[in-house]
Every structure is written in C-alpha cells, then in structure tokens.
Structure 1
C-alpha cells in the first residue's frame, strides 16, 4: 500500500469528504489542574523547599500536554490553614477540575484538615505528590512523613485520593502524572454533556443494552437525547446528491475495496444517514451516538445501518450499534482517556480457541475504516444475518473486513448502572476471517482465553464488548477509582470450558 493510501485509511477512507460537508468539530476541552505546594518555613530548610517546588512546577508543566491541560500553580508553598483556604477559594472561582498537592515539607495538621474539608465540599480528583530528599545530615524537609500525615487526615475525613512518590527526574514520573491527569480530563470533559440515541430506544429484547439514565447522569454527568429516525432522516436532506456521489465513488473506488454487492439506492441512503448523524452530532456537541440499527432501518428505510455508523466513527464520533448505552459509555471513556487514539469499536464475543489462546470477536460490519487490515482490504456487503433468512431480500450497506493487528484493550461497563466493569488487554493476531463481518482474534496479554470465557459466563456479563486500540487498563483503572466503579476480577478456568454461576 502506498503512502497516500496509508494516509487515507489512517484518517478514514472518506473522512476528508465528510469533513468538507458537515459542521466542524468543537475545540478540545482544556482541563484546569491546580498545583499547590505545602510546607513549613519555621522548622525546615525553606530555601531547599523553594528550590524543590520550582522544580516540581517545571516538571509538572512538562508532563502535561498543552493542548489538553492548563496548569495553575501557587506562587510558593503555602504554610497556614488561612492561606490555603483563601487559595482554594480562588481556585474554586477559576473552575479547576483537579488538584495536585506537592508535599514540600512536613505541615501543620490544621492545614491538612482545611484541605480535607474543602475537598469534601468540592468533589474533584486530588493527587498527593512527594519524593525522596537529601540524607546524611539534619532532616531538612521530612516530606514522606508529611505526606503520610496528610493522607492519614484525608482518610479520617473520608477524602478519596491518589498518591505519587517520585521526583520529576524519575523515568515513570511523566506516565504516572498523565495517568492521574487523564482521569481529571475525562471526568471534566464529559460532565453535563449529552449523547444522542438515534432511533429513540434500544433494539427489541436486548435488555443488557439499557442503562438507568439518572444513574448515568449522577455518576458520569452524561445526559441522553432521544432522537427519532424521521428527525435524522429529514436532517439528511440538506446534503446534495453530488456530495453523496463523491463519497460513494471514493469508497467503492479505493484500492482496498475488494467487492460490492449493495445496490446504489441502499449505498446512497446509507451515506446520507451517516452524513445526517455526523452533522447532527457535531451541531449538538454529542459525545457519541447510540444507533438503533434494526428493525426500523430494515423495515421502513430499506437499509442496514452498520456501514453508516462505521463512517461516522471515522470522524472520532463513537457509535454503538443496537443502541447499547453501556457500550457507548465504554467507547466514550476509551476515546476521551486516549485523547482520541483508541478508535473504539463494538463487537460480540463469538469464538474461543483455547489451544491457540485466542478470543474471536465479531460484529455485523460497523467498525470504522481506520481499523481495516491493509493486506486484506474490505468488502461492501449486504447484511449476512439477513442473508441467513433470505439472500435475495438482504440489504446493506455493511463494511466487512479483518481488523488490523496491534495492541488493544477489551472492556465493557456493565448493565444496568455501569457500576462495574471488566477490562483486559491483548493483541490482535494474524487470523483468517472466521465469520463474514467485522472480525478480529485477540490473544490475551496476561490471562488465557479460557480465563476470559470463564469470567464472562460465570458472571453472566453483558453480550457486547468494546475493543480499543492501545493498552488502556491502568488509565481506566485510575478513572474507575474516581467514578466509584468496581473492577471485575478475571477468574482462572479450572475445568477446561465448564463453569457455573458465582
């Protein structure tokens, strides 16, 4: 594949044409993180405290990407309960999203208690940060003991926290700071935002695709807009036949397109639907879309909606098939915590190969084109499940392909309140297309395929899963801490592929 074709698929096969036709993307959210040093001049080496705090500010500033974060730091370490309360009120007025407390030295307990009270009244993520100090003479800072003292008071007051004991020069520093900062970012960037449920409700009988909307709002700050198909269909009339024709020509004419059996009318309708959803989502600043892709799209509009959802996802707008709100939530969290690099896609658990330690994932054909395996390409197809009933009456447009190889994270925040999640990491390995559709075989990174199956079936977990690019488990675990979400532990399969409920 040439460099031009590679660049096209990395951005989505027709994304350039979509971007020229729909509303522009809103600017990225900028999360405000406040840094405050705490210490005591009276009993400790104030000059070293000032020097270390200056280094801390520089190190933290270098660790936080400027395109996503704004750092607000106290000018010098704060020493008294009165001064810290005044500073905290200033930060509250500026709308900070997270707080990092640099332990410059040992501190007075009333300062720590003031911090604890404020944090109980202002629920934001907080990181306690300290590191080692010079030895061999007088105890010049007593930082570690000060951090221990601070967190003892936080714990006594019921304050949730994370902690770090590393200097800015340590190799792991930037990664650990960013792990905390990503949680700050995600919590703030999704708060009081909405998702669109296109089609209004979940598909028939898919009970594990529903989430309690008040729980969703209370835990994550996410609201749900329910949009009927006619509203979306009418919105799509703004797009000309010319732009739809250009998109169809570029899609079908791409060198990676190996086959097409969908008639022109269904392709045109699918492209119009995808343009309508993408534009509507951009105009309303939706975090993502839940798409009720059957039965109305089959019965009333004469198309299969999966391919339309695939093209929307190429634009960085998560789309969950079958109106699965837990899946959409998982996609949104992966998308936000990776700063858009996860390219999450919805799949079913479809195959276990215990001998080769592979888990096969499949869905109908709605994965973004960014995920196409470049060596095998893609096919534009009618719906294979509808073909099981009648080949002649089946309809499209679906995009069928083998997923490209790479590091991935599998997760799903569970029905009915997203209060627990199973997360594991693996690698997409070379495989044949076991089933027509969108397909990938994943080798677990730490566990066996049998362990994964035992955990899913013993616990009766949701039937949809999300594959996101990259190893995201540590970042998601930190986020779960701040969202009060429990992690489901992976169980060891004991009797080959046999188990029972927990």
Structure 2
C-alpha cells in the first residue's frame, strides 16, 4: 500500500501574539511525526483567514491529492474562510492549539476559531453533510496523538480498499444467499473493484497445467512451512501444490490483491481436494484470500490487515461456547495463514467435513491447514456492505485445546472500550443479525473500525446489555 498523504492548512489572522511562532512549531512537529509514522506531508504555504486565501489554499492542497487534511486553528478566522473547504479533497480534521498564556490579554483565540470552522461546516454546508474529526493540543498531547493514531489506522483501511481489486471465483456458496453483494455497492462505498470473471473451472485448469518443476518447488516450500499428517497422501499434496500455484498465478495475472473463492463444496467435488490449504498459503504470502465467495468477508480481511499493520488477517466462524469459563471458539476449515499459528505451527491435514467414512474411520479430502491460533489480543468484525452495518469487538485468544482446522478460544470480550459478558456478546450478535463469517487480526483496533464506519456512513452495533426477554433487534428499526 502507498504512503498516506496528510495535509495541513494554517488558519489565522496573522495579527495574534505568537501565531507565526506556533506555525513554525506545528510545522516542525508534523514533519517529525511524518517520519515517525511514515506518511507524506504537505504544509500549505497560504495562511488562510478569509474566502480568497481559502480558495488558493484549497487549490494548492488538492494538487497534493490528500487523504486527510488538518485545518489548523491558532487564531480566530472569519466564517467565509470555510466556504471553499467543501471542495477540499479527502477527509477533514479541525485542530486547535492551546493558548500560550492563561491570563491577561488573550493571545490567540484558537479554540474559538476552530468552533467557527466546525459551525460553518455543519450549518453553511448543511446539505452536504461534511464529516470532520476534532483534535486539540500539540502533537504530544493525548487529545491529538491518541486520536490521530486511530484516524491513521482508519485511513490506512480506506486507502487499502481504494487500491483493492478483488477476484470473485465462482458463485456464492449455496445457502449463503444473504452474503450476496453488488459490485456497484462495493465500488460506491469503498472505491474497490470486484472482478467476477473467474470460475472454479478456470482455477482447476490452471492447477492441472502447472509444470512438474514448479510443483516440486512448491511442495518443498509447503513442507518447509509444516508437516503433513498420515491422513494426507502424496496425491493430495500434489493437488494442493498445483492449486496453490494456480491461485497465486491467477492473482498475479489479473492484478488481484484479494480473492474470495466458491470453495465449499464446489472445488472438492470437481477437483478432488479441499482448497483450504491453498487459501492458507495465499494468505501467508500477503494476498487476502476469503472463503465461500464471501466478498464482504474479504473486505473485512482487507480492513483488518491494514489497520493492524499485520502480516495476515483471517476469516472465521463462531462455533462453540464453553460455559465452564464462558469462552468462545472461533474456527474455520483450514484457510488461515501459518503466521497466525501458536508455537506448534502448521500441520497439513484432511478436511473435517468433506470426505467419507471407511468403517469407523473418517477420511476427509486433503488438504487443510491445521493450526491453533497463537495467544494475544484480537479484534473481530463483520461488515455488511448492502445493509451498511458494522459489528466489531475485541477479545483475547488464549491457550486451550481446540478443534481440528484453524481454531482457537477467546475470552475477555470488549466493546466500545468496556468489558462485555458472553451473554451481552451473544445478544449483540443475534440482535444485529450478524452474518456468520467474521474477520479478525491481532491487535486492538476497534476504535479505528468504528471511525472507518463513521467516515463511510455505516451504522455500528452497540452493546445495549443483556435481558432475558425477546428483543426485536434490527428487525425493529
């Protein structure tokens, strides 16, 4: 992903005491911050006080094509300075600095100036509904830096989606019709494009056409990442290697940074292998790979990985509750990246569900990534593009024996920065009719997910507590 572009437009009269010295200080602090956080910075050369200077400042900043621009207030401005700001590219932050003297003659009137700016955005540009985020203090003040870090993560997700081209391979799995999403909705809301012109048959042909030399090298790389179990034969491993190469080639040849594949049960029956392990390999290589042709799931993985600045995100089902400790198991067949595994690493195993019995012994299709997720704080989310809804919460993955496939147990649930009980979490999930796939990555970035949703006009699920009577939930809207 490219670097974020952050702009800064100074807004003051030029006659207040200390305003130019503060501009010099802010310019230096932002320059230092751009090096620390690794973003491109443009500081406007035009000091904005009224309409004419604002027009020039907007034109100059738009040539930089910013993702986000601070309108820095360290002095009172007149309202007309905000009229041209509706033409400013990217998102807007209103930033006020503190007065450098707390008695006597008021030096700057900076906070008041930022209030004027906020009022003009809301009431002059009423019908345009221009959102903004406020900041206060110098760059070491928590009211600036903590808030900017949240914004920075949200911006990374916004840009990652704008740059995304997602390949849909085959149709949405039968029975998962509620996951259907229009590519026009994806483009309108995120700027991402969906390439629907790929079939499972194309992938199978690519797999079969791989050279023996390439397959041999891929098998060596696969076995370097994990060992195969006795339930997986050499033929299944060969098909795994071919499918892994086919998906990588498909992504490369079509400029895809993400795919979502109609896997269960399409490819198993038509190719003889479960694709989970190949999807795992793709995720481990840094290409987002979702399951069951779930485009919103892939969108969630793109967002999570960008915000967490992680090597990988993954998709999971919530499958089991242990009432002994109120922990919840998150699981999927076997598509997670190996870098998410605990110290036991990855084993290449057979599928839990697709296969047959020989007597009392289960023989599943090969091959899946069998791993237990490593301990640590995670953030889970589900975004629904068509409904414009987001559910997000934090939890802690901990060591506990788990299911075959990609699996782990979580506890210590959090939502909105506050602890949440299991009963409250179940209420959130059921009452908001959350789709059964959730994305997660390691780290605590729920606030950034909420900010992302707010910029995009997406409603966010809230913990309204647990009750023992029936609730209408979203059906009661």
3-state SS of 1:205 partner: coil
Q: Structure 1 residues 253 and 32, CA, compared in 2 at 3 Å: closer, same or farther?
A: closer
**Which one of 93, 117, 121 corresponds to residue 150 of structure 1?**
117
Whether the 8 Å CA contact 1:342–1:468 is kept in 2: the answer is no
Alignment partner of 1:141 is 2:103: no
* Mapping 1:41-440, distance limit 5 Å: 41-42=14-15, 44-45=16-17, 48-64=18-34, 69-75=39-45, 77-115=47-85, 117-119=86-88, 122=89, 124-134=90-100, 135-156=102-123, 157=125, 158-171=129-142, 173-191=144-162, 193-198=164-169, 200-226=170-196, 227-236=198-207, 239-252=210-223, 257=227, 259-339=229-309, 341=310, 343-374=312-343, 376-387=344-355, 394-414=364-384, 417=386, 419-433=388-402, 435-440=403-408
Whether the 8 Å CA contact 2:97–2:137 is kept in 1: the answer is yes
CA–CA separation in structure 2 for the residues paired with 1:290 and 1:491: 33
3-state SS of 1:58 partner: helix
CA–CA separation in structure 2 for the residues paired with 1:89 and 1:269: 56
| TM-score scaled by length of structure 2 | 0.90
Corresponding residue of 1:447: 420
RMSD over equivalenced CA pairs, Å: 2.3
Deviates more, 1:452-461 or 1:420-429: 452-461
Q: Structure 1 residues 167 and 93, CA, compared in 2 at 3 Å: closer, same or farther?
A: closer
CA–CA separation in structure 2 for the residues paired with 1:388 and 1:266: 15
Q: Structure 1 residues 243 and 440, CA, compared in 2 at 3 Å: closer, same or farther?
A: same
**Which one of 425, 438, 446 corresponds to residue 465 of structure 1?**
438
CA–CA separation in structure 1 for the residues paired with 2:356 and 2:320: 19
Deviation at 1:418, TM superposition (A): 5.1
Q: Structure 1 residues 161 and 353, CA, compared in 2 at 3 Å: closer, same or farther?
A: same
CA–CA separation in structure 1 for the residues paired with 2:206 and 2:19: 60
Deviation at 1:320, TM superposition (A): 0.9
3-state SS of 1:396 partner: strand
Deviation at 1:477, TM superposition (A): 1.2
CA–CA separation in structure 1 for the residues paired with 2:247 and 2:75: 54
Which structure shows the higher strand fraction?
Answer: 2
Q: Structure 1 residues 253 and 127, CA, compared in 2 at 3 Å: closer, same or farther?
A: closer
3-state SS of 1:126 partner: strand
3-state SS of 1:34 partner: strand
Deviates more, 1:155-164 or 1:308-317: 155-164
Deviation at 1:40, TM superposition (A): 0.3
| TM-score scaled by length of structure 1 | 0.86
Deviation at 1:171, TM superposition (A): 4.6
CA–CA separation in structure 2 for the residues paired with 1:150 and 1:395: 62
Structure 2: segments with no counterpart, 5+ residues: none
Deviation at 1:380, TM superposition (A): 1.7
Structure 1: segments with no counterpart, 5+ residues: 1-27
Give the structure, 1 or 2, with the largest relative contact order (CA under 8 Å, sep 6 or more).
Answer: 1
1:302-352 alpha-carbon deviations (Å, 9 max, x no partner): 11001100000001111111111111111011122233x162111111112
Deviation at 1:499, TM superposition (A): 4.7
Q: Structure 1 residues 49 and 235, CA, compared in 2 at 3 Å: closer, same or farther?
A: farther
Deviates more, 1:348-357 or 1:321-330: 348-357
Whether the 8 Å CA contact 1:258–1:377 is kept in 2: the answer is no
Whether the 8 Å CA contact 2:228–2:349 is kept in 1: the answer is no
Whether the 8 Å CA contact 1:304–1:395 is kept in 2: the answer is yes
Whether the 8 Å CA contact 2:200–2:262 is kept in 1: the answer is no
